[in-house]
Amino acid sequence: MASSGLTIFLIVCVVVLSVLLGTLLHAVKEQGHTNQVLEESLTEETVSIPDETLEEPEEPLTETPEETESELPEENPVESEETSEETEEPVEQEEVVEPEEPQTESSGTLEEQAAEILAGMTLEERIYQMFIVTPEQLTGVGQVVSAGETTRQALQNYPVGGIIYMGPNIVDPNQVTEMIANTQSYSKLGLFISVDEEGGRVDRLGSNSAMGTTSFPAMMTVGASGTEAAYNAGLTIGNDIQKFGFNLDFAPVADVYSNSANTVIGDRAFSTDPLEAAELVSAAVKGFRESGVLCTLKHFPGHGDTAADSHNGMAVSNKTESELQSCEFLPFRAGITAGAEFVMIGHISLPNVTGDQTPATMSHTVVTGLLREKLGFDGVVITDAMNMGAIVNYYSAGEAAVASVKAGVDIILAPSSLSGAVSGIQSAVASGELTEERINESVMRILMLKLERGIITTE
């Protein structure tokens, strides 16, 4: 009986232990499942963290170009380009750079850009910028019809502001286009590429049938057809020469043909009547501006009343300032109002205005007193060719250059000696006869115009 009771007790113990063990095993399995779920949950959260981190930079990447663009008006494009190079995404560099183009239309921005370029130039480089020369004067070659290593080396040594091409330099369209393109590519700063293309007897391209440009009669004949004809002449000439790479024309003639004994101007003028000439000159300037080519009013203070030809010797006008204001100055005023970028000073003496025989080119009274102050011209003032008889018969290249700069001239055209003219200005600065501030004034005008018209690019 006792044995039977013990057996029953052991069986009960086994059953209880089995239940407890089963319960324990179930609890372990549940805990393992819970841990697995927690581990998977943690793994998913850990993976999602990098996704959020990658998305965060997208907001500043979008904002960066906008912030840079908002700062661009306070910076110059050169600095903006350097800043944009640090951006990691190439597309973003383009987005930052693109808005700089329209900013060159702002006068403040142009001034800042020009000032930065000026600050990086030596005095010698600034002085050379004030010269436009023939390719022969630049290179020393007898007749230039192409541009290669000689031109490249010459521009490196003598970094002039521009080149004027004459009839013998112009052979055919391909030759001219290649010569000009090469010459431009060799210049550290963009060049004024200029020509005398008036129509009539001063027609460097139009007189060459191989060039395929429009040949115009004398402007006196064009003017007889009215202002629309004068406008179309300026527009057509500008379009014709621009396609070869010219960006500056020494036209239109703003002289009044008021002296029948005058042979140097004659039918190159639009009219014998100053009011009619003023209307026609204004129309021609508007045509040139529409074409995109820079134009030049010439020959201030008026070459139409002189009897002598300044190519050969001294040319004198005995008119008083009052007489000039009522006749010769009217076409110049009209052309300035129409937007002419250049005014060319003629080698004309005005003894009843200046009190002596000094050519207008070298007269502070004429250049600064009359043209700048009384006519209000703030563009680029250039001399007529300084290798003409009215200059070389009386002055050295250095003397003429220094006197012209002192008078207020910005650019000296075709000096009889480029080296002599540059040396003369350098010596005048060294002695204090000219100041660097006076040089900088002219170079700033030149640089700002080149920037404005895309001759100097900041890209």
- CA–CA distance, 208 with 129 (Å, rounded to integer): 31
Non-local CB neighbours of 410 within 8 Å, separated by 6+ positions: 130, 380, 381, 382, 442, 445, 446
User: Which residue in the list 196, 249, 384, 410 is annotated as catalytic?
Assistant: 384
User: Which residue in the list 273, 309, 311, 364 is annotated as catalytic?
Assistant: 311
311 tagged catalytic: yes
249 tagged catalytic: no
Give the active site residues.
Answer: 311, 384
